[in-house]
Amino acid sequence: MRRLLLLLSTPLLPGCRDTGADSRSTTVDSVVSIDTALARFRQGLEEPAELAYGAGSLDELIGTFVKRLEASDTAGLASLALTRAEFAYLYYPTVPEARPPYELSPGLLWFMIDGNSARGLRVALAERGGKPLGYVGHRCSGDPRRDGENTVWPLCIVRRLQAPGDTVEERLFGPIVERGGRFKFVTFANKL
């Protein structure tokens, strides 16, 4: 407390001013609008017309995920998730995280989604890959959220037979997006 009082009562050091801008100072504007950040994020990406290689239904997407996980088909699983271009042009512009109060830049949101997805896929392959899951179905809780042309299912759970008479439910992936009748995973983040 004594030090704080001493600092508060000490005059400014030579060369430091407590008034207006110094002509030698430089103003750095680190705030970039979402529109500018999105334009920068899209550089070098081709605009997709639709969700490429997406499934024709929620059931088909989850069923394909289960088959590819059982086969440890990493490339096949990766094709079921949003690409960077699909994220940039078809998904990001309508998500709540891009608007106030969040206003996450596309680069930051993609970094979070992509990182969590890669980690989730690694864990799913290590824990459940290469063996029968005993898949008996799935359920998606809550109403899907409508974001522009996208419909997002935030939480779908896989039901599987762990042992005879022992059905378990697991979250093996993150949200699912549907656009124009095509379905893909936003992320493979999971609860394993």
With residues binned 3-state (H G I as helix, E B as strand, rest as coil), the percentages for the chain, rounded to 5, are: 40, 20, 45
* pLDDT-derived band at 165, boundaries 50, 70, 90: confident
At 31 the pLDDT is 80
Domain boundaries, the chain: 54-185
Q: Is the pLDDT of residue 50 over 70?
A: yes
Q: Is the pLDDT of residue 2 over 90?
A: no
Counting residues of the chain whose pLDDT is more than 90, the rounded percentage is: 79
Tokens, residue 69: 């996980």
Q: Is the pLDDT of residue 27 over 50?
A: no
Question: What mean pLDDT comes out for the span 165-190?
Answer: 96
Q: Is the pLDDT of residue 190 over 80?
A: yes
Q: Give me the chain's average pLDDT, please.
A: 86
Tokens, residue 189: 């983040």
Work out whether strand 156-163 and strand 182-185 pair parallel, antiparallel, or are unpaired.
Answer: unpaired
Q: Is-contact 166 64, C-beta < 8 A?
A: no
Prediction pTM value:
0.82
